[in-house]
Amino acid sequence: MTWIEDLARRADAVLPDYVSAYYHSNAGDGSCDREGIADWNAFRLRPSVLRDASAQDLTSDVLGTPVAAPILVAPMAQQVGARPEGEVLTAQGAAKAGTLLGVSTNTGARFDDIAAQGAPWWYQVYVARDRAATRLLVERAATAGAKALILTVDTTPLGREIPAIDPRNWPEGPRKNRTANLTAAELERFGKDTDMALDLTPDVIGWLAEASGLPVLCKGVLTARDARRCVDAGADGIIVSTHGGRRLGNSVTSAFALPEILAEVGGEVEVHVDSGIRGGAQAAVALALGAKAVHIGRPAMWGLAADGAEGVATVLANYQAELVTTLRQMGIGSVKDLRPADVVARS
**Of the listed 24, 243, 272, 295, which one is catalytic?**
243
**104 carries a ligand binding annotation:** yes
| SS3 state at 42 | coil
pLDDT tier at 161, thresholds 50, 70, 90: very low
Q: How far apart are CA 73 and CA 294, in angstroms?
A: 8
Greatest mean pLDDT among 11-25, 106-120, 151-165: 106-120
In this structure, are strands 101-103 and 60-62 parallel, antiparallel, or unpaired? Answer: unpaired
Please report which helix (H) or strand (E) contains residue 179, including its range: none
Residue 168: phi, psi to the nearest 5?
Answer: -65, -15
Q: How far apart are CA 263 and CA 294, in angstroms?
A: 17
Q: Which residues contact 220 (CB under 8 A, 6 or more apart)?
A: 152, 153, 154, 155, 239, 241, 242, 243, 247
Q: Where do the structural domains in the chain lie, given as residue ranges? A: 3-340
Residue pLDDT, tens place only, 240-270: 999 887 777 778 999 999 999 999 999 999 9
Q: How far apart are CA 256 and CA 35, in angstroms?
A: 10
Among 30-34, 44-48, 249-253, the minimum mean pLDDT is found in 30-34
Tell me, yes or no, if 243 is annotated catalytic.
Answer: yes
**22 carries a ligand binding annotation:** yes
Distance separating the N- and C-terminal Cα atoms of the chain = 27
Evaluated on CA atoms 7, 9, 15, 20, the torsion sign reads: positive
User: Which CATH code is given to the segment(s) 3-340?
Assistant: 3.20.20.70
pLDDT of residue 35: 77
**142 carries a ligand binding annotation:** no
Closest CA to 90 of 73, 104, 68: 73
Q: Which residues contact 149 (CB under 8 A, 6 or more apart)?
A: 122, 123, 124, 125, 138, 141, 208, 209, 212, 214, 215, 216, 217
**212 carries a ligand binding annotation:** no
- The DSSP annotation for 217-232 comes to EEEEE-SHHHHHHHHH
pLDDT tier at 338, thresholds 50, 70, 90: very high
Q: How far apart are CA 4 and CA 15, in angstroms?
A: 16
Partners of 124 in beta bridges = 150
pLDDT of residue 227: 99
User: Could you tell me which residue, 158 or 39, shows the higher pLDDT?
Assistant: 39
- Tell me the one-letter amino acid at 314: T
